Amino acid sequence: MKNIVIGQSGGPTAAINATLAGVLLKSLEYDEINKIYGMKNGIEGFLSENFVDFSNLIAEGLDINKLITTPAASLGSCRYKLPKDENSEEYKNIFKICEKYNISYFFYIGGNDSMDTIHKLSNLASQMNSDIKFIGIPKTIDNDLPETDHTPGYGSAAKYVATSVLETVYDASVYDRPSVTIIEIMGRHSGWLTAASALAKSKNNQSAPQLIYLPEVAFCKKKFINDIKKLSENTKNIIVAVSEGVRDENNMFLCEDDSCTVDAFGHKQLSGCGKYLENLVKSELGFKARSIELSTLQRSAGHLLSKTDIDESVKIGQKALEYALDGHTGKMVVFKRKSTVPYDIHIVIEDIAKIANIERKLPPNFINEEKNGVTQDFIDYVTPLVSGELYPSYDNGLPVYIYF
Amino acid sequence: MKNIVIGQSGGPTAAINATLAGVLLKSLEYDEINKIYGMKNGIEGFLSENFVDFSNLIAEGLDINKLITTPAASLGSCRYKLPKDENSEEYKNIFKICEKYNISYFFYIGGNDSMDTIHKLSNLASQMNSDIKFIGIPKTIDNDLPETDHTPGYGSAAKYVATSVLETVYDASVYDRPSVTIIEIMGRHSGWLTAASALAKSKNNQSAPQLIYLPEVAFCKKKFINDIKKLSENTKNIIVAVSEGVRDENNMFLCEDDSCTVDAFGHKQLSGCGKYLENLVKSELGFKARSIELSTLQRSAGHLLSKTDIDESVKIGQKALEYALDGHTGKMVVFKRKSTVPYDIHIVIEDIAKIANIERKLPPNFINEEKNGVTQDFIDYVTPLVSGELYPSYDNGLPVYIYF
C-alpha cells in the first residue's frame, strides 16, 4: 500500500482545484493507493506536517464535483522557494517526512517556482536512490510555462478577461460622448492574458478593444498618445487593454521614474499602469478617460469558467497520477495540441529540467505589425481554450465553494 | 392604431434591456399597437428624432431572449435633465415629435432623474389636455428609488458584488500571511450595493467581509483604524467592503482634503476611497494591504445575472404597458413585497410625484449597532433578490449581446 501527497503553490487560479480533483478521482481507481494527503499551504505546510487527509474526507462524502468548480487554492498556497543549496536541512526534512508518512508519490501543482521545487526534489531522490516519484502539474493564469500548449487556469482567466472587456466596451459606449477606457490586465512578464482581451472584438461586429499593449513590446508613451489621437478621429469610445507588466524603452515600469504618484501620506507610490495611462490621456489630450483594473478578480472567478479549461484541468490531474504510477519522476504533465480545428489536445510528460524557471513569452507571430494588438493566429490559438461554459453550484444566489 | 416610444436613461444595469424586452413582448399581444419606437440615447435621441423601429426589427426576427440577457443599455443612454422652465422650447418639441410620430404611450426606464422627466412631461400633458400616457419604469443598481421594494438591476449587481467579494475572500486567504483587502463598491449616496457584500459572509461558514462601511454612516478614520487593529488580533485575512460614497464627520469624501494624491503630472487627484484606505492601513498600522475597485464591472455583468431580478425586470416592463393601456399616466410601476418567505412580489403603480428626485437610503434597522456592518433583517431582505441563475447565450466562449 502506497501513499500520495499533493500540494498547491503560487497564485490562485480558477482551475487548480479541478486538477486536485482529477488526482483524487483517479486515485480511487487504484487499490494499491492507501492514503492521500493534501499539504496545507504547499511545501510550507508539508515541512510543518500540516496535512489534510483526503482519504478520510472522501470516505465522509467530500463532494468532488463542487471542488472542481471551486476557485483559488482549496488547500492554501505558498510562494516558498526551497534553498539553492541541496545539502540544506530542509531537503533532508522533506525526505524524512516522506518516509514518516510512507509517501511514494509527490505531486505539486504550480507555476515556474513550483516546477523548480519538483526539479530539485527529483534530482535529490535520484542521488539518494529514493523511489519516491516527483511529478509537477502546471497551473498559472499567466500561461507562461514552456513545453506545454497552454496551462490549466489560463482558459478560464482568459474567458473572464475577454468577457469583462466585452461588457466594459458596451458599458463605456452607452452615452453619446467620446471617452477613453484603459483596462489593466495581469501579466508581469508575458502578455498572454492581456492578448485574450482581443476576443471581445469579434463579438457583435464591434471594434474594441482597439489597442492592446503587451509586455513583449517596449512601450513608447509618444506612440501611445499618437495611437489614441489617430483613433479618436473616427472612434467615439476607445478601449485600451494594457498588461500590468508593460515597460518603456529603458525597461522601466511606466510609473517608475520620479514623477510617480505621491499618496495622501507623502509616500511615493507605484500606481498601476492603467491609472498612469488614464492620467497621461487626460493630461496630454484632454480627453475624458477612465481606468479599470481587473485585479485579483480575474484569477479567482469561479463563477465564469471555461469548460474546456476545467475539463482539461481534471484530466491533467488524472494523467499525472497515471504517469507517476507508471514510474515516471522529475517530469511535468503537458498539453500537446494535435489540431486546432477540430480542437484536439493530448496529455504527455516532459522533463522538468526543460521547464523549471523558464518563462514563455507570446511568440512574434501572435503580435500584430503595429505592435499594438494581436494577430488572427493568436485568436485561432486562444478560442478553443475559452470555449464552453461550466457553472458552479449555487445556494441562495451565491456559488458554493469548498476549502480545507 | 397607436404608437409607443420607449427610452433608456441613466447608468447601465444588467436588467434594463430585460425591461425593454418586457414592453416589446407585451406589445405583441395588443392589436391596437402599431409602431414601437426606441429612442437612441434616451431623451437626447428623442429630441433629434433618432429612433430604432422595433416593429421592423421584430418582423425581421429580433431575438428578444438574447435582449433579455444583454447588459448595459441596448438603446444607449443619456444623463440629460430637461430644463426647469416648463415653457422652454424643448417641451414643446417633445409634444410636437409625439404628434408627428403618432405616439400615444411614452415609457422611460431609468432612475431618479428619469422619473423627474416623466413627472414633468405628464404634468405638461395634463395642462395641455394631451392624451399621451407617460409611464416611468424603475432601473438602478443603486436601489435608491422610494415607493418600491427594490429596483430592477439591483439584484444582479448585488449578486455580482457578493460573488466577487466571496471570490476575493478566498483569493486573499490562500497564503498563510496576514493581509487587509479593501473592496470599493458603487453607491454615491446609499449603501444598498455595498451592504450586499455581507451575503458572502454566510457562505462556507466564513466570516468575511468582517467590516462594511456605508454612506449612511459618517466615516471616522480613527474608528476604522481601531476596527482593523482589534480584528487583526484574531483574524488573519481582513476583508473590508466600503462604499465609494462614504464621507467623514464633516461630510467630506475621504480624500477631499489637501493631502490628496498628486498624479505623475502634478495634478491633485481624488483617489478612490478604497485606495485611500489601503494607504491609511499601510501608513497607520504597517499591515500588508491591497484595494480592489469593482468599478463599472459591477453594473454591466451580463454573465452573472440574478434570475429573480431578470424575470421581474421583464414582468415590470410588461405591467408598465398594461397600466398605460389602462389609461394611467404620471406613474411609476413599483414592486410591493407581500412576503419574504415565501418570496412574493406584486407589481402596482405609484404617483411619480412621490418618487421623482427622492433618494431612498438604507433604513436604520438594516445597519448593525457598531455601524460597520448589516443586520439579519437586511440579509433576509436581499437574499431573494439575488437568488436564481440565468445565463446569456455563448458563442465561441463569449456571451452574445444585442445592441441597436
pLDDT, one tens digit per residue, over A182-207 is: 999 999 899 999 999 999 997 767 78
State which residue of chain B sits closest to A8, comparing Cα positions.
Answer: B174
Lowest mean pLDDT among A330-334, A365-369, B87-91, B140-144: B87-91
The continuous run of DSSP H or E covering B38 comes out as strand B33-39
> Which of A260, A294, A398 shows the shortest C-beta gap to B163?
A398
The verdict on a CB contact (< 8 Å) between A261 and B276 is no
- What percent of chain A shows pLDDT beyond 70? 96
> Which of A163, A391, A398 shows the shortest C-beta gap to B203?
A398
CA dihedral B140, B142, B146, B149 (to 10 degrees): 80
The verdict on a CB contact (< 8 Å) between A167 and B300 is yes
Q: Is B142 a catalytic residue?
A: yes
The verdict on a CB contact (< 8 Å) between B12 and A265 is no
Q: Is residue B195 a contact partner of residue B144, using CB atoms and an 8 Å limit?
A: no
Amino acid at B151: T
Would you say residue A53 has pLDDT above 70?
yes
Confidence of residue A267 (pLDDT cuts 50, 70, 90): low
Mean residue pLDDT across chain B: 94
Confidence of residue B204 (pLDDT cuts 50, 70, 90): low
Give the model's pLDDT for residue B255.
73
State which residue of chain B sits closest to A158, comparing Cα positions.
Answer: B397
Residue pointed to by grid coordinates 400615444: B104
The verdict on a CB contact (< 8 Å) between B271 and A259 is no
Give the model's pLDDT for residue B207.
87
Amino acid at A318: Q
CA–CA gap between residue B200 and residue B213 (Å, rounded): 15
Confidence of residue A86 (pLDDT cuts 50, 70, 90): confident
- The contacts of residue A240 (CB under 8 Å, 6+ apart) are A180, A181, A182, A183, A209, A210, A211, A212, A213, A228, A277
Confidence of residue B357 (pLDDT cuts 50, 70, 90): confident
Would you say residue B138 has pLDDT above 70?
yes
- The distance of B32 to chain A (nearest Cα, Å) reads 32
Closest CA to B92 of B135, B50, B51, B128: B128
Q: Is residue B213 a contact partner of residue B224, using CB atoms and an 8 Å limit?
A: yes
CA dihedral B382, B385, B387, B391 (to 10 degrees): -140
Confidence of residue A119 (pLDDT cuts 50, 70, 90): very high
Give the model's pLDDT for residue B356.
86
Would you say residue A95 has pLDDT above 90?
yes
- The distance of B393 to chain A (nearest Cα, Å) reads 10
| A17: Cα within 13 Å, side-chain hemisphere | 29
Q: Is residue B109 a contact partner of residue B6, using CB atoms and an 8 Å limit?
A: yes
Confidence of residue A257 (pLDDT cuts 50, 70, 90): low
State which residue of chain B sits closest to A200, comparing Cα positions.
Answer: B398
Give the model's pLDDT for residue A265.
59
ipTM of the complex: 0.96
Distance (Å) of CA A379 to CA A340, A384, B85: 11, 9, 54
Residue A393 vs residue B263, higher pLDDT: A393
Would you say residue B111 has pLDDT above 70?
yes
Q: Which residues pair with A108 in a beta bridge?
A: A7, A136
CA–CA gap between residue A64 and residue A58 (Å, rounded): 8
Query: Which one is catalytic: B53, B85, B116, B142?
Result: B142
* Mean pLDDT in residue range A91-110: 97
Give the model's pLDDT for residue A87.
87
Q: Using CA of residue B346, residue B351, residue B352, residue B353, what is the dihedral sign?
A: negative
> Which of B199, B300, B304 shows the shortest C-beta gap to A171?
B300
Per-residue buried b or exposed e for B339-360, using 16+ beta carbons within 10 Å of the residue's own CB:
eeeeeebebebbebeebbeeeb
Query: Which one is catalytic: A113, A116, A142, A309?
Result: A142
Confidence of residue A109 (pLDDT cuts 50, 70, 90): very high
The verdict on a CB contact (< 8 Å) between A283 and B292 is no
- What percent of chain B shows pLDDT beyond 90? 89
Mean residue pLDDT across chain A: 94
